[in-house]
A = this chain, B = another copy of it.
Amino acid sequence: MSLYEALTTESAVSLVKKLGLFAESETLSCQEIGDGNLNYVFHIKGTEKSVIVKQALPYAKVVGESWPLTLERADIENRALRLQGQFAPDYTPKIYYSDKNLAITMMEDLSYLEIARTGLINGEDYPLIAQHTGEFIARTLYGTSDFALGPQEKKKLQNTFCNPELCDITEGLVFTDPFFDADTNDFEEGLRPDVEKLWQDSNLKLHAAQLKRLFLTSGDALLHGDLHTGSIFASGTETKVIDPEFAFYGPFGFDIAHFTANLFMNAFSREESRRAPLYAHVVTVWDVFTAEFTRLWNENNTEAFAQTDGYLEWLLADIFEQATGFMGLEMIRRTIGLAHVKDLDSIEDEATRLEAKRQSLSMGAHFVKERARYTSADQLVAAFKEGL
């Protein structure tokens, strides 16, 4: 017997009152603001405060199709949020309550901030977003790694974040489908020659397969798992990372790769003269990640080889190389795969839009295949500026 039932605006209000977050007598407004594809998101507002109640739905709806999806992901998201809140409290929403049976997490209302993707499309620059996101990634990844926890604790924690169904979505949509003529792909007819060329690029496929193997087998740390600019609430002064339902133990380079890929894809939607802040973000997120990871490495490290000459440098270089590849894959799949980014899709002029998408595809493929040649974020930006 399942204790799960989908909330309504009425039952969501009753719940937050029962939990004492609001007085019984208070008049509350409640609006469901989710996209309804995977989750309900209730925004509940009283006279002085407000909360978010997020509930997982037992299915996923994408392009009209619906398939069953584990409710377990709500529990994974809730536990990931709590861990991330421990390592990076400034960049994580506060959690008030969670219920595994109902698959809900009740958390801080962040609607005073803006989803970063939306803001970036509207021309915001968020001067601190790269600093904050770099710290978030370094702290949450390092904090859940073998280095911080020791291998025994890490293995036990890793075992509580087995997330096969959500990983399956990433394995399909990011790492596989865009490289084959798969039903899930979605691209404009004008891109077909480019896409068919990509499907025939067996060197690209080999590199995609190598990166996929890393994703399937490398358990470095607890990843956010879906850290694009749509998973970040931001303002000029604050940054909050939300929605870690894809969290699992994966390779160190994955999260930073998705963040930088989405910055680059936003850059495609801007005039060259307005791209500088995005380029700066790519460099900053890497600088901050590297500095913070290094600080934590030197401060709190259970690894006997921690001070071995060259080990940290080798590890950081390895993370950079894999991240460059993951970044390229994200650029490809956001252009021709199932889930697009509004940054590219909302370019109104068709020729400009197609050219941006072609650039996204060819730059993506380049970063995947040539990832071993890149050793610094400055080089990534230089290559991006130069175009292909």
Contacts and interface: CB of A to CB of B under 8 A. Distances in A.
A151 B175 CA distance: 12
Contacts of A167: 151-152, 155
Contacts of A309: 202, 205-206
A161 to B, nearest CB: 10
Interface in A186-237: 202, 205-206, 208-210, 212-213, 216-220
Contact of A217 (B176, B180, B219): B219
A97 interface: no
Nearest to A311: B209
Nearest to A162: B159
Main secondary structure, interface of A, reads: helix
Contact of A305 (B146, B158, B212, B217): B212
Given A159-B159, A217-B146, A314-B210, A305 B176 contact: yes
A216 B146 contact: yes
A3 interface: no
Contacts of A176: 304-305
Contact of A311 (B162, B164, B165, B206): B206
Given A146-B217, A151-B216, A308 B164 contact: no
A11 B376 CA distance: 66
B151 A209 contact: no
Contact of A208 (B158, B216, B219, B305): B305
Contacts of A216: 146, 151, 154
Interface in A134-172: 146, 151-152, 154-156, 158-159, 162-165, 167-168, 171
Contacts of A180: 304
Nearest to A172: B304
Q: Which of A154, A180, A303, A308 has the most CB of B within 10 A?
A: A308
A276 interface: no
A64 interface: no
Interface of A: 146, 151-152, 154-156, 158-159, 162-165, 167-168, 171, 176, 179-180, 202, 205-206, 208-210, 212-213, 216-220, 303-305, 308-311, 314-315
